[in-house]
């Protein structure tokens, strides 16, 4: 099978990082992932040059939205800036013709009704302009998370579909192996179960886990160093038949080793 493989890389020169790993695609941030500042491309030669050179190199670009984004939250001081920054990120990403913007599902407070969070997602998608695909990613922890377990993802997906956005085809799903492992969802059947809910998997984050099954901890490991059987990661990639980003540690060229593992174990 032919699956495009790549990695999450430093944002200063994503194309050089792609070449270093022999990657078909790269994912990166547009600024500091831990704040609400407007997105900014770090690539020194600018948006037009990156877009042109990525096309010439046949490297697909993906952008990960800031971690601080939480459009589900019931706190106006979190939700409103999150919506604004998400739209800014989508618009900036469109300037470099990305294949998708990945965003975490978010959460509501421990005392909040999760239905409020799902409805906030509906409102967000209803009002969003979607010049490029927005890919909602499952998350590892949090008791009141919107996209941790499958039953919550199903409710979230229903809310998104109810938004009525006229570009709803641009809302997709990103499956993270470490996050589902941490959430206590069995990987061997996860693709089939996700597809039964969403009907699509647009991207896979292929990550090992430093922690035990069901830990709720979002700590990625390289494939052969963690608590997920690497064969299960390969099986998810095979079944999903979607582009892949490894977000594993890159010490000692760990990301390249994980990409080489996938290349050597995926069936033709």
The span from the CA of 236 to the CA of 215, in Å, is 20
The span from the CA of 178 to the CA of 1, in Å, is 23
Number of structural domains (the chain) is 1
Measured in whole angstroms, how far is the alpha carbon of residue 130 from the centre of its chain? 16
Taking 3-state DSSP, the helix, strand and coil percentages for the chain, each rounded to the nearest 5, stand at: 45, 15, 45
Q: What is the pTM of this model?
A: 0.97
- Closest alpha carbon to 96 in 137, 136, 39: 39
| Domain encompassing residue 54 | 5-266
Residues of the chain predicted below pLDDT 70: 1, 268
- Tally the residues of the chain: 268
Q: What pLDDT, on a 0 to 100 scale, did the predictor assign at position 242? A: 98
3-state secondary structure of 148: coil
3-state secondary structure of 232: helix
Instruction: Please answer whether residues 103 and 85 qualify as being in contact, where contact means their C-beta atoms are separated by less than 8 angstroms.
Output: no
For residue 210, give the H/E element and its range.
none
Q: What pLDDT, on a 0 to 100 scale, did the predictor assign at position 1? A: 62
The span from the CA of 3 to the CA of 208, in Å, is 19
| CATH number of the domain within which 42 lies | 3.20.20.150
* Nearest 10 degrees: Cα torsion 243, 59, 21, 219: -40
Q: What tokens were used for 13?
A: 């020169």
Q: What tokens were used for 27?
A: 């994912």
């Amino acid at each position: 099978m032919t699956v495009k493989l790549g990695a999450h890389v430093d944002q200063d020169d994503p194309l050089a990082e792609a070449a270093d790993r022999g990657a078909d695609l790269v994912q990166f941030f547009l600024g500091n992932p831990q704040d609400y500042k407007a997105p900014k491309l770090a690539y020194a030669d600018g948006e037009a040059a990156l877009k042109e050179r990525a096309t010439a190199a046949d490297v697909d670009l993906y952008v990960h939205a800031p971690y601080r984004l939480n459009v589900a939250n019931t706190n106006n001081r979190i939700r409103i800036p999150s919506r604004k920054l998400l739209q800014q990120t989508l618009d900036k990403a469109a300037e470099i013709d990305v294949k998708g913007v990945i965003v975490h599902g978010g959460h509501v407070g421990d005392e909040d009704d999760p239905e409020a969070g799902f409805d906030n997602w509906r409102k967000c998608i209803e009002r969003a302009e979607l010049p490029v695909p927005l890919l909602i990613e499952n998350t590892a922890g949090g008791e009141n998370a919107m996209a941790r377990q499958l039953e919550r993802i199903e409710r979230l997906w229903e809310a998104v579909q109810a938004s009525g956005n006229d570009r709803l085809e641009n809302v997709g799903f990103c499956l993270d192996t470490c996050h589902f492992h941490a959430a206590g969802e069995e990987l061997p059947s996860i693709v089939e179960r996700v597809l039964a809910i969403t009907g699509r998997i647009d991207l896979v984050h292929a990550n090992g886990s430093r922690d035990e099954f069901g830990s709720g901890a979002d700590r990625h490991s390289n494939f052969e160093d963690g608590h997920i059987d690497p064969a299960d990661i390969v099986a998810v990639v095979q079944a999903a038949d979607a582009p892949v980003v490894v977000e594993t540690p890159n010490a000692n060229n760990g990301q390249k080793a994980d990409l080489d593992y996938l290349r050597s174990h995926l069936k033709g």
